[in-house]
Amino acid sequence: MNWTAIAAIYRFEMARFFRTLLQSFLSPVLSTSLYFVVFGAAIGSRIDEVEGVSYGAFIVPGLIMLSVMTQATSNASFGIYFPKFIGTIYELFSAPVNFLEIVLGYVGAAATKALFIGVVILATAAVFVDIQIAHPVAMVVFLLLTCVSFALLGFIIGVWAKNFEQLQLVPLLIVTPLVFLGGSFYSISMLPSIWQKITLFNPVVYLISGFRWSFFGTADVPVGLSLLAIGGFTLFCLGVIWWIFKTGWRIRS
Amino acid sequence: MAAILSIKDLQKTYDGGFQALKGVTLDIEEGEILALLGPNGAGKTTLISTVCGITTPSAGSVSVGGHDIIDDFRAARRLIGLVPQEINLEPFETVWNSVTFSRGLFGKPRNDALIETILRKLSLWDKRKSQIKELSGGMKRRVLIAKALSHDPRVLFLDEPTAGVDVELRKDMWDVVADLKRDGVTIILTTHYIEEAEAIADRVGVITNGEILLVQEKNQLMRQLGQKQLEVQLTDPLQEVPEVLQRHGVELSKDGRALIYSYDTNAERTGITALLNDVAAAGLTLADVQTRESSLEDIFVGLVSGEAA
């Protein structure tokens, strides 16, 4: 393995993040604060506790997941798409690196950025509500796996996209709706029974449920199933990336 | 001298069916400068891209320093530096970070002293903290060269390095190339500026329609294919070539004041003596006589158009 190259790609990508640190930091703080003002104070005051947890605290895991999934996806997709767009990708292909090393560099950096934003949101939320983490190790595992798996998804999107429109298509039309409808702001037990069944087809439900379990010890679906879902999703993305690597699809003529 | 780059029957057919390389075979010796000339679409960039790993070959093999570019791609690519034709750079990154990134990508440990030497050599040291987007086109091209040199390559590909660059910068680049040659770096250069090939190349390769037409030592090529022209300037203009001179194949200049005679420098007899005797016999008075040698450009145009083949 060319670890020096992986570190070089990682540092180069992180430099882009640090160049815009203020936006990277302020944006999640501001949006989290707005969610708490709207959902916590305005609407949350009219909602009783959900599964024994105050509504303000209940939405914290969903809020973190919402930002982590979208940020990991968009950072990784932009990370690999931008060199394609400006033509600097030639350097990656002519360097003594294999595709796995390229993936590790870009996905590692995108996952790190998403993790940073997740931690910032958690810290911001702690200002508004009292947060207890029942299973901290499980919480870290869920958070890390989500960062990595959605960064892998973003990498695939970045390789697939031929223009900026396509780059935005999957995060905007698939990831964000699935996250919003995946129980970020509600428990699926609050839905009519038919919707409870339909919503189980949404893979994000399992991720948010498992992450919420790590905070409060209660979940919409068994936590084992959640772990299987996130593990399966990570393996699926790795499989697609392995296929891209073997075939050179959309990357090498 | 040993071949550091060996290309055997290299073929590339793109998905659309276009065959960009039709079995290129070429050996490049260590330490030489090879200029690859060819019209647009001849396959120059495809050849470079395939050797460097950007494009996958359809058939054939390439080895760099004895390492196959597919089976032993890491060792092969470590020896290669590439300066692409297009100015492809991350606009928001600084010169220093951009160049050190390239070194890291090739698996080389940090070496600030070497990067400083390269940047100073390319007159980029004062710009090391500038963002790429703040640089002029010529400066950006220097950054591309600095990036390609950052991992100390033994073989350097320069794909049209001086396209759109002013004369002064072009001369600077020739100096850089000369320095690299002194350090033993093998250089493969594609260019549209034939004067560039003439000025710096040891050998010249001509590629057209995905095939190598010839590869030859530059001076030998000029000797072999080069023609000389003898221009006999007359004091009084002529309407047509006198009959006595027609057997020499002499042409008359547009203004009728000069007779132009082309001859082969390698021929046993150039025919100049007989021509001048007949000029005297025709009663023409000479104002001046001069000779002119074919430039590489003349040879190239002749080769590609099939005239000199």
Nearest to A87 among B74, B80, B86 (CB): B86
Binned at pLDDT 50, 70 and 90, residue B308 comes out as very low
Average pLDDT (B142-147) is 92
Residue B262: which H helix or E strand, with range? strand B258-264
Contact status, residue B186 vs residue B139, Cβ threshold 8 Å: no
User: In chain A, which residues have their Cβ closer than 8 Å to the Cβ of B88?
Assistant: 86-88, 90-91
CB of A152 within 8 Å of any CB in chain B?
Answer: no
A-B CB pairs within 8 A amount to 81
The residue ranking higher by pLDDT, B17 or B300, is: B17
pLDDT, position A81 = 92
Domain match, B89 and B232 both: no
Asked if A9's CB is within 8 angstroms of B92's CB, the reply is no
Q: Report CA-CA distances (Å) from B97 to A159, A187, B80, B234.
A: 25, 48, 20, 65
Q: Which residues contact A244 (CB under 8 A, 6 or more apart)?
A: A99, A156, A159, A250, A251
Find residue B80's DSSP bridge partners: B155
Distance between A81 CA and the closest CA of chain B, angstroms: 12
Domain match, B99 and B52 both: yes
Please give the residue of chain B at the shortest CA–CA distance from A4: B107
3-state secondary structure of A137: helix
Q: With a threshold of 0.90, tell me whether the complex ipTM lies above it.
A: no
pLDDT, position A191 = 80
CA dist B184 and B241 (Å) reads 54
Domain coverage including residue B180: 3-222
Domain match, B111 and B246 both: no
CA dist A241 and A152 (Å) reads 8
User: In chain B, which residues have their Cβ closer than 8 Å to the Cβ of A8?
Assistant: 100-101, 103-105
CATH number at residue B122: 3.40.50.300
CB of A88 within 8 Å of any CB in chain B?
Answer: yes
pLDDT, position B309 = 41
Interval B52-108: pLDDT, tens: 988 889 999 999 999 999 999 999 999 999 999 888 899 999 999 999 999 999 999
Given a cut of 80, whether residue B159 has pLDDT beyond it is yes
CA dist A199 and A190 (Å) reads 12
**If you search the block for the tokens 């070959």, which residue do you land on?**
B57
Domain match, B27 and B149 both: yes
Which of A9, A10, A12 to probe by mutation at the B interface, max B CB count within 10 Å?
A: A12
Given a cut of 80, whether residue B193 has pLDDT beyond it is no
Which of B47, B56, B105, B108 to probe by mutation at the A interface, max A CB count within 10 Å?
A: B105
Tokens at residue A70, please? 């979208």
- Residue B209, exposed/middle/buried by CB under 10 A (0-12, 13-18, 19+)? middle
CB of A92 within 8 Å of any CB in chain B?
Answer: yes
**Residues in chain A where the model's pLDDT stays below 70:** 44, 252-253
Q: Report CA-CA distances (Å) from A47 to A50, A216, B205.
A: 8, 18, 79
CA dist B175 and B291 (Å) reads 31
Distance between A120 CA and the closest CA of chain B, angstroms: 26
CA B70 to chain CA centroid, Å, is: 27
Tokens at residue A10, please? 């990682």
What percent of chain B lies above the pLDDT cut of 70?
Answer: 95
CA dist B288 and B270 (Å) reads 19
pLDDT, position B306 = 63
Binned at pLDDT 50, 70 and 90, residue B307 comes out as very low
* Of B212, B208, B254, B250, the residue nearest B229 (C-alpha): B250
Asked if A252's CB is within 8 angstroms of B54's CB, the reply is yes
Buried b (16+ CB within 10 A) or exposed e, A49-61: ebeebebbbbbbb
What percent of chain B lies above the pLDDT cut of 90?
Answer: 43
Q: Report CA-CA distances (Å) from B113 to B91, B116, B117, B149, B181.
A: 24, 5, 6, 13, 21
pLDDT, position A253 = 63
Say what the pTM is: 0.81
CA dist B268 and B130 (Å) reads 62
Domain match, B272 and B201 both: no
Q: What is the DSSP string of A10-79?
A: HHHHHHHHHHTHHHHHHHHHHHHHHHIIIIIIIIGGGS--BTTB-HHHHHHHHHHHHHHHHHHHHHHHHH
Given a cut of 60, whether residue B26 has pLDDT beyond it is yes
pLDDT, position A77 = 92
Q: Which of B199, B222, B245 is the last residue of a domain?
A: B222
Nearest to A95 among B84, B97, B105 (CB): B105
Q: Which of B222, B240, B267 is the last residue of a domain?
A: B222
Q: Which residues contact A56 (CB under 8 A, 6 or more apart)?
A: A36, A39, A40, A44, A128, A129
Nearest to B54 among A8, A16, A93 (CB): A93
With respect to residue B302, please indicate whether it lies within any of the assigned structural domains. Answer: no
CB of B101 within 8 Å of any CB in chain A?
Answer: yes
Contact status, residue B99 vs residue B125, Cβ threshold 8 Å: no
Domain match, B16 and B143 both: yes
- B31: alpha, beta or left? (left if phi > 0; alpha if psi -120 to 50): left
CB of B52 within 8 Å of any CB in chain A?
Answer: yes
With respect to residue B179, please indicate whether it lies within any of the assigned structural domains. Answer: yes
Tokens at residue A105, please? 């560099």
Domain match, B56 and B121 both: yes
With respect to residue B304, please indicate whether it lies within any of the assigned structural domains. Answer: no
* Of A188, A206, A161, the residue nearest A69 (C-alpha): A206
CA dist B90 and B92 (Å) reads 6
Q: Which of B222, B256, B272 is the last residue of a domain?
A: B222
Domain match, B105 and B214 both: yes
Asked if A12's CB is within 8 angstroms of B93's CB, the reply is yes
Tokens at residue B185, please? 């770096």
pLDDT, position A28 = 78
Please give the residue of chain A at the shortest CA–CA distance from B55: A253
Find residue B159's DSSP bridge partners: B190
Domain match, B158 and B237 both: no
Looking at the 3D structure of chain B, how many domains does it have?
2
Find residue B12's DSSP bridge partners: B21
CATH number at residue B286: 3.30.70
Domain match, B58 and B201 both: yes
Tokens at residue A104, please? 């590790």
pLDDT, position A104 = 94
**If you search the block for the tokens 């003349």, which residue do you land on?**
B298
With respect to residue B198, please indicate whether it lies within any of the assigned structural domains. Answer: yes
Please give the residue of chain A at the shortest CA–CA distance from B108: A4
Longest CA span, chain B: 78
Tokens at residue A140, please? 């870290």
